[in-house]
Every structure is written in structure tokens, then in C-alpha cells.
Amino acid sequence: MNKTAKPAVFRNEPFTDFSQEPGKRAMQEAIAKVKSELGREYPLRIGGELIFTEDKICSFNPGQTGETIGWVSKADRVLAEKAMQTALETFESWKKTAAQTRAEILLKAAAIMQERKHEFSALMVLEAGKNYAEADADTAEAIDFLNFYAREMIRLSEINETMPLTPVAGEENRLTYIPLGVGVIIPPWNFPLAICAGMTSAAIVAGNTVLLKPASNTSVIAAKFAALMEEAGLPAGVLNFVPGSGAEVGDYLTTHPQTRFISFTGSKEVGLHINKLAAGVAPGQLWIKRVVAEMGGKDGIVVDETADLDAAAQAIVTSAFGYQGQKCSAGSRAFIVEAVYDEVVKKVVELTRRLTIGLPEHNFPIGPVIDESSYRKVLKYIQIGKQEGELLTGGRQAEVTGAQGFYIEPAVFAGVSGKARIMQEEIFGPVLAIGKAQDWREAVRLFNDTEFGLTGAFFSRDEDRISEALETMHCGNLYVNRKCTGALVGGHPFGGFNMSGTDSKAGGYDYLLLFTQAKLTSRKK
């Protein structure tokens, strides 16, 4: 492999400092602009055609439920089939498009998004219920994904030309990575721009065409992203935007004989359902469908008696309650050795009680959960938690002056058994369970006692313990002496073990290979 084919140095998009007036003012102006556009209708995008349907998804503000963000046209199976046929036809030309050309479109999209960064972030503040910093990080990550996958596609195209195979006398041999075909992209609502952009751009820059079926809760953000890609020069039919019901459109496309791959991020239950459907072979299907899935987690932080306890407590609170705990990487569990257990628990409770709750557009640390279903689920788990541990703070429905939304006080439970439901089941809300361990090895064992394996963190000053924990803590992304959320593109390839998914490592240097297949050609000299 030549030097130009090595991974390039990648710089992440910097975050905005909202403690300073320029950053705060820019976001407030962007929120005002987005509010002036509320209630608009958004079409499907199939080929070059914009299609408005009678049946629509109503997207609303979870922090102010009477505020409609927009109306997004809804696909049915007929329109899904139309999109599939369009994608199949477009694939024949798109797969022949030079990798450099495909990459340049992503780079242009990243540049456009950078220019409108605060507008995308403001939309997430209103549609997804994120505060300024969470929304800003989401947009920054989307820009990073576009830039990273563009550069990575260029590198892979160079590898196609320089792959060092073992020489065979009398033959000219070459290994190339070629696109798969038509894929279905099913992103989540909790990172509605970053993960949507990352999943979609990775597939298309590798030469595939896609059908994008976004989460209904954040379908306006996805519609804006689809429009941006067209503005950046993506040919019609490469990205087909087909919001719709999971049971109707999602299942139909997953089982379609022409679907080559499904890229999914969401819950374990839906991911397993997709995997099961994709494993079936429909009449006329010529391949085993590839499933790329990231399915959630029950992540935790382990703290031993040598750790910086203030840093550990802050990391526990940030990991548990950032974006109301609605992250697959959220640290919803903490295991603390008994020697410092009481001290760390006291610090965690004090930090949690300082968190204020309110409208995301006013930039409160804690906002709403995403919808009524999530709201009821979290409150149900809090009632379960009261039977499994001691509720030290929070856990009540929160009243926010001037707002009607799905607000819940961050809940901290202590004295929770490792086998308790709130220790084992993904809640996806502002609920933290804390357990006591006799020593750090027992804490690691408790951490590993879960069907998930996405992220984790280990707090210690003992290098021997750190070395052992790095080997024994079983998760896809393990951090030492820092929070277990906040993976950076290129620096922290992201994906988990066990029921957390296929460990596909989004933002990593092998991710694009998942959307390609290797072809060996051999020619006699």
C-alpha cells in the first residue's frame, strides 16, 4: 500500500461556546428563524420527484406539545415500491461514478451544513428537545461524518489501485471493493441529524443508492437533510426519502427481494425484528442481505477507591442525564466500591439536584423526553425502581412554567442489585441506578452482567487496575477516567457487543467496507 492510502489526519468540527454572547445570540437568532417556518409541509423525494401525500406525519415539539414543527408526507407500500425501482435504476449509473466525484458531493454537503449549522441545531432544539450544546454537538458530528466518509472513500479508492496481494507467477491479480446495491437506511430520533447523515452518507459514498426511512419523531430534520444532499449535487434517485410506518413501509422494504442491505440504529427489539425479517429469502432474491445494526445499551461507570471522586461523580451525572438519558451510550448504571460508595453517591445526588428543568429553547440542562410513550415508560420504570432501590432524588413529573411537555425530574436510585430491572433493562430516560461492590473486580463483574455491551467507563488512578479493566470490561467503547458518552468521529469508532448490535464501528476506518463487497480479478499474463 502506498503512503497516500494511509488514513488521513482528521480534524473534528469544533463545538460552539454558548457561554459567550456571540454563540448564544447566534443560536437564539436561528431558533427565531426556525420558528418562523413552523407548520410547513415536506414531501417525499423519489428520484427527481417531490411527492405530497394526503396521509402525513405530524412532528411536534416535545417540550411544547401544542407547537407543530411540520407535516411530513407519508409513504405507503406503493410509493415505497416506486422508490425501490427508482433506486435500482439509479444504481446502474451511480455505481460507475468515480469515488472522487461521490466524495466531493459529501464535502460540499458538509460545507453547506457548516454555513447553516445553527439552523440545523435550532431545529433539533425544537423538534428533538435538545439543549444548545446537545444540538450543536449533533450538528458538528453530522459535519464530521460527511467529511470523514468523503476522505475515507478517496483513501479506499486508492487502495483499490494499490492493494498489495501476494504475487503469483504468470498472473496479474487485483482486489477491488465494489458497491452492494440498494440499501434501506433507518436512523433513530435521538441523534436525528448526525446518525441520519452518517448512515446515509456512508452508504451512498460507497456507490450504493438508498431509501431513507427516518424516525417519525424527527422527520422534519431528516427532510431538511435530504434536501441539503440534493442541493449539494447528489443526483436524483441516489437518496430517496420515504418516511412512513415501520410496520408498513419498514417491514416491506426489509423483506423486499431487491434490498441488498439494511442499516439500522434504534432499539434492541426493533433491531432483532429487522434482523429476523432480513434473514428470510424472498422469491427472486439473489443474496444474503447484510444487516448493519446499532441497537442500544445498558452502559455503566465503575469507580474504585483510588479514583478522583469529584471527576467520577461529574462523569456519572453527565453520562446519565445528558439529553435526558436518551442516548444508547448513556451511563444509566454506576458501580462503586464500598470504601468510597457513600461519598460518591452524595456527590452524585448533589450534582443531580443542581440540574434545572425547562424549555430547550431557553437552554435548560434538562428538557423533555421525546414523546408520550417514552414519558409513560420512564415513569413506569421509576415506580419499578422504588421497589428495587432507594430513590434519593427526582423521579417526579416536572412542571415547567409556560410549557406543556414531557418533563421528568432526573432520578437517582441507590442500593440497587445488579439483577434489578432498572439495572438490566434499557429505560432510555433520566434514570440512574447505583450499586455497591466489595472491590473493583466485583464492580467490573457487575458491569459485565448485562445482555448489552456498548459503552463503559472505569475510574481509577491505579495503572495495574486500569490495564486489567481494559481487558476485562466487555463493551465496544471503553473509556478510562472520563464519561462514557461523546464519541468523536475518527477518534472513537462507535459500536457495541452482544445485544448492542453488530459492532459496526461508525466513524471508523473500516466502516465503509460494510457497504461494499470485495471482488478479486485474476488475469493470465
Q: Residue 269: which of 425, 503, 433, 77 has the closest Cα?
A: 425
β-pairing, 516-524 with 171-179? antiparallel
Whole-Å CA distances, 164 to 372, 508, 523: 55, 22, 16
Contact 163, 172 (CB under 8 A): no
Number of other residues whose CB lies within 10 A of the CB of residue 163: 16
- Helices 117-127 and 21-35: crossing angle in degrees, nearest 10, is 60
Detail the DSSP E strand segments found in 49-157: 49-51, 56-61, 64-73
Confirm whether 451 is a catalytic residue.
no
Q: Map grid coordinates 440534493 to a residue.
A: 230
SS3 at position 226: helix
Report angle CA 326, 425, 249 to the nearest 5 degrees.
65
Residue whose entry in the numeric block shows the C-alpha cell 427526582: 394
Contact 349, 393 (CB under 8 A): yes
For residue 64, count other CB atoms closer than 10 A to its CB: 18
Establish whether 328 is a catalytic residue: yes
Three-state DSSP class for residue 134: helix
Active-site residue, from 134, 294, 361, 388: 294
What does the CA dihedral 456, 460, 463, 466 come to, rounded to 10 degrees? -20
Q: How crowded is residue 67: how many other Cβ atoms within 10 Å of its Cβ?
A: 18
Sequence-distant (≥ 6) Cβ neighbours of residue 14 within 8 angstroms: 140
The catalytic position among 13, 127, 328, 409 is: 328
Residue 466 sits at φ, ψ, to 5 deg, of: -60, -45
Q: Which three cell numbers stand for residue 27?
A: 443560536
The set of catalytic residues is 294, 328
